[in-house]
Amino acid sequence: MKIFSAQQIRNCDQFTIENEPISPIKLVERAAETCARWIENHFNKTSEFQVFCGNGNNGADGFSLARILYTKGFDVNVFINEKNSKYSQEAEINLKRIREISGIAVYDFNEIEDLGFQENSVLVDSVFGTGLNRKIEISVKNLIQKLNHLSFPKISIDIPSGLFADRSLEENQIVFNADETLSFQFWKKSFLHPETGKFCGNIHILEIGLSQKFIENEHSDYFVIDETEIHKIYRPRNQFSHKGNFGKTTIVAGSFGKIGAAVLATKAALKSGSGITFARIPACGYFVLQSVCPEAMVEVSGENFVTDFPVENDHVLGIGPGLGTNSETQKSFFEFLKNYKNPVVLDADALNLIAQNTEILSSIPRNSIITPHPKEFERLFGSTENSFERLELARKKSKEFGIYIVLKDHHTQVITPEQKVFYNITGNSGMAKGGSGDVLLGIITSLLAQNYSPEEAAVFGVWLHGKAGDFAAEKNSKEAMLPSDLIDELGNVFKILA
Ligand SMILES: NC(=O)C1=CN([C@@H]2O[C@H](COP(=O)(O)OP(=O)(O)OC[C@H]3O[C@@H](n4cnc5c(N)ncnc54)[C@H](OP(=O)(O)O)[C@@H]3O)[C@@H](O)[C@H]2O)[C@@H](O)CC1
Ligand SMILES: [K+]
């Protein structure tokens, strides 16, 4: 699914109004009805809704929602900034409709303290939406601060007030702290970055019938990886195929004390479809790997750490988990990078070795995939102020070095040399454990070996990894799930795709 900027969303809104055609007030009504349906399915009629409305069309949504909820039998109060005289046309019409209903009281923002809310209250934030264009002024700032201190369930309409749709926060910005965000049609970039996404609670993207024609034709470099995208990438196995059709994967990993990393990466490669899987590890891990991964072939290199790198051109190499940073490993790894031309997948210590001498970055074979977490990324490319800036730096570096960057985060981003960004929305905090990254390297290397393009392998790989993580969390809890459980769930994820 494409992600649009606030301006593009406004254009889509306008295009829909002109071409469906539909009047702006009807479009607001449609958006509000969609929210009302969601609320009706999630709250019972004893709830009392306190709806806070701004003066733009986010406020218009709030007024309309308040009226619809009232007609459905909920108790509703509406709050506005009485000092505000400048309303959008749709907000003005909908506020007028509210004032005509005697059962809905309209209060000023300042009155919340005198009123005191019933304990069955639900707070609805319809103050600012995608039209926020500057730092919030003091009166609204005070309101949001007060609301944030109340412990009632909190719902934001379209976007928590105070967040910009497509950029980071202003300094000291106050943001409504939602439990649920009911957002229209599209993911917003700010939902997907940790500094801003933390205000959204659970995100529900509600379809409101904006123009498909506009959505198809409008260019965006930013995407959310959804199941439709994955179904396009996934290729079921042909029943007449044999192991030779699914590529050769070689995992180069492990050192004394870190053989587990090699095991996890190798197992993950085996369980994500690789035809023939090799593990190149130091001798100290030989028996362990042979016992726990009997399907893999083991090549020994060095005693306690890997001392030489294979140059088999028909294998796809995944390098790094538990490799260690011994100077001998580094020497042969750098030598290998200088001579090898096929795409490889690099993670963990492979990236730490490169970070020790970043001149070697330009020797990474074109179209390779690197999978750094934020700290590894910083060691390679330098620090940035926030995750929005980090993403833009990653786009620049991806283009400069002709490599795919899988920037691991709460919502991992796949960045391509053509400047595209794919945000992953599968996965959970139970995956924030040592070993998860080793599994991801195994999966992506295996997919690349099966002839998926680097973009497909990275996008499909992060989605599979997250989805298997979600299945593992469901069975074992986020606390107790292990990266090994995630590997065990890969089969169930492939089953839902078939
Ligand atoms: N897009 C769609 O497809 C659909 C969109 N819909 C809805 O429309 C919403 C967007 O509406 P919108 O454009 O009217 O903007 P909105 O967020 O209500 O605020 C703008 C107002 O706030 C003001 N203002 C801004 N910053 C401020 C600040 N810091 N402090 C104080 N004031 C500030 C600004 O003032 P101005 O800049 O004019 O002075 C203006 O008056 C969208 O989020 C969704 O809910 C749906 O109804 C239907 C489908
Ligand atoms: K809002």
Average pLDDT over residues 186-204: 98
Q: What is the pLDDT of residues 67-84, one digit of tens each?
A: 999 999 999 999 999 998
CATH of the domain at 74: 3.40.50.10260
Q: Is it the case that residue 243 has pLDDT exceeding 80?
A: no
More confident residue, 311 or 342: 342
The two structure tokens encoding residue 296: 């893999």
pLDDT digits (tens, 9 = 90+) for 372-420: 999 999 999 999 999 999 999 999 999 999 999 999 999 999 999 999 9
Among protein residues, the one whose CA lies closest to atom 26 of ligand 1: 132
Asked if residue 255 is part of any domain, the answer here is: yes
CATH number for the domain harbouring residue 452: 3.40.1190.20
Predicted pLDDT of residue 416: 98
Is 90 exceeded by the pLDDT of residue 19? yes
Q: Is residue 225 part of a domain?
A: no
Query: Domain boundary residue among 159, 186, 219?
Result: 219
Query: Under DSSP, is residue 318 helix (H, G, I), strand (E, B) or coil?
Result: strand
Residue identifier of the C-alpha nearest atom 22 of ligand 1: 56
Domain total of the chain: 2
Is there a single domain that holds both residue 416 and residue 454?
yes
Ligand 1 test: best mutation among 57, 67, 175, 187, most atoms within 8 Å of CB?
Answer: 57
Res 85: pLDDT:
81
Supply the pLDDT for residue 57: 98
ipTM over 0.95: yes
Kindly give, in sequence order, each residue whose CB lies less than 8 Å from that of residue 167, ignoring residues fewer than 6 positions away: 189, 190, 388
Give the ligand at the shortest distance from the Cα of 83.
Answer: 1
Report whether 129 belongs to an annotated binding site.
yes
Average pLDDT on 258-284 reads: 98
Residue 1 maps to a domain:
no
Asked if 172 and 26 sit in the same domain, the reply is yes
Report the pLDDT averaged over residues 274-283: 97
Residues 147 and 128 in one domain: yes
DSSP 3-state assignment of 223?
strand
Integer Cα distance of 400 and 36 in angstroms = 48
- Closest residue (by CA) to atom 35 of ligand 1? 56
Q: Map residue 394 onto helix, strand or coil.
A: helix
**286 and 193 in a common domain:** no
The answer to whether residues 421 and 319 belong to one domain is yes
Q: Is 133 annotated as a binding residue?
A: yes
Per-residue pLDDT band at 238 (split at 50, 70, 90): confident
Give residue-wise pLDDT tens across range 459-470.
Answer: 999 999 999 999
Same domain, 309 and 385: yes
Share of the chain above pLDDT 90, in %: 94
The CA 37 to ligand 1 mean position distance, Å, reads 22
Same domain, yes or no, for 268 and 208? no
Q: What is the mean pLDDT of the chain?
A: 97
Q: Which residues of 280-310 are buried (b: 16+ CB within 10 A; e: fewer)?
A: bbbebbbebbeeebeebebeebbeebbebbb
Integer Cα distance of 318 and 454 in angstroms: 13
Q: Across residues 105-128, what is the average pLDDT?
A: 94
Confidence of residue 160 (pLDDT cuts 50, 70, 90): very high
Single residue among 219, 241, 263 that ends a domain in this structure? 219
- Centre of ligand 1 to C-alpha 439, Å, is 44
Query: How sure is the predictor about 241, in pLDDT bands with cuts at 50, 70 and 90?
Result: confident
**Over residues 438-449, mean pLDDT:** 98
Q: How confident is the model at residue 245 (pLDDT cuts 50, 70, 90)?
A: confident
Tell me: pLDDT of 196 over 80. yes
367 domain residue, yes or no: yes
207 and 307 share one domain: no
Residues 274, 363, single domain; the answer is: yes
DSSP 8-state class, residue 249 = E
Closest Cα to atom 29 of ligand 1: 136
Residues 251, 358: one domain? yes
Distance 60 CA to ligand 1 centre (A): 9
Contact 214, 16 (CB under 8 A): yes
pLDDT of residue 308: 95
Tell me: is residue 322 an annotated ligand-binding position: yes
Ligand index nearest the alpha carbon of residue 209: 1
The average pLDDT across 54-66 equals 98
Distance 61 CA to ligand 2 centre (A): 9
pLDDT at 169 over 90: yes
105 located within any domain: yes
Query: Given a cut of 90, is residue 114 above it in pLDDT?
Result: no
What does the alpha-carbon distance between residue 352 and residue 320 come to, in Å, rounded to a whole number? 9
pLDDT score of 321 more than 90: yes
User: How far out from the chain centre does Cα 379 lie?
Assistant: 23
Binning pLDDT at 50, 70 and 90, where does residue 237 land? Answer: confident
Position 44 in a domain = yes
306 assigned to some structural domain: yes
Q: Which ligand is nearest to the CA of 175?
A: 2
Last residue of a domain, one of 200, 219, 238: 219
Range of the domain at 296: 230-497
In a domain, 224, yes or no: no
**Would the annotation count 44 as a binding residue?**
no
Q: Give, for ligand 1, the residue of 133, 174, 207 to mutate: max count of ligand atoms closer than 8 Å to Cβ.
A: 133
Token pair, residue 462, equals 């992060």
pLDDT at 165 over 80: yes
Give residue 172 CA to ligand 1 midpoint distance, Å: 21
Starting at the earlier edge strand, list the strands of the sheet with 154-157.
105-108, 75-80, 48-53, 121-126, 154-157, 180-184, 202-206
The CA 197 to ligand 1 mean position distance, Å, reads: 19
| DSSP line for 396-454 | HHHHHHT-EEEE-STT-EEE-TT--EEEE----GGG-STTHHHHHHHHHHHHHHTT--H
Same domain for 133 and 43:
yes
For 310, phi and psi rounded to 5 degrees?
A: -70, 150
pLDDT in tens, 408-437: 999 999 999 999 999 999 999 999 999 999
Per 3-state DSSP, what percentage of the chain is helix, strand, and coil (rounded to 5)? Answer: 45, 15, 40
170, 280: one domain: no
| Ligand-binding site membership of 338 (annotated) | no
Reading the block at residue 35, the tokens are 């929210």
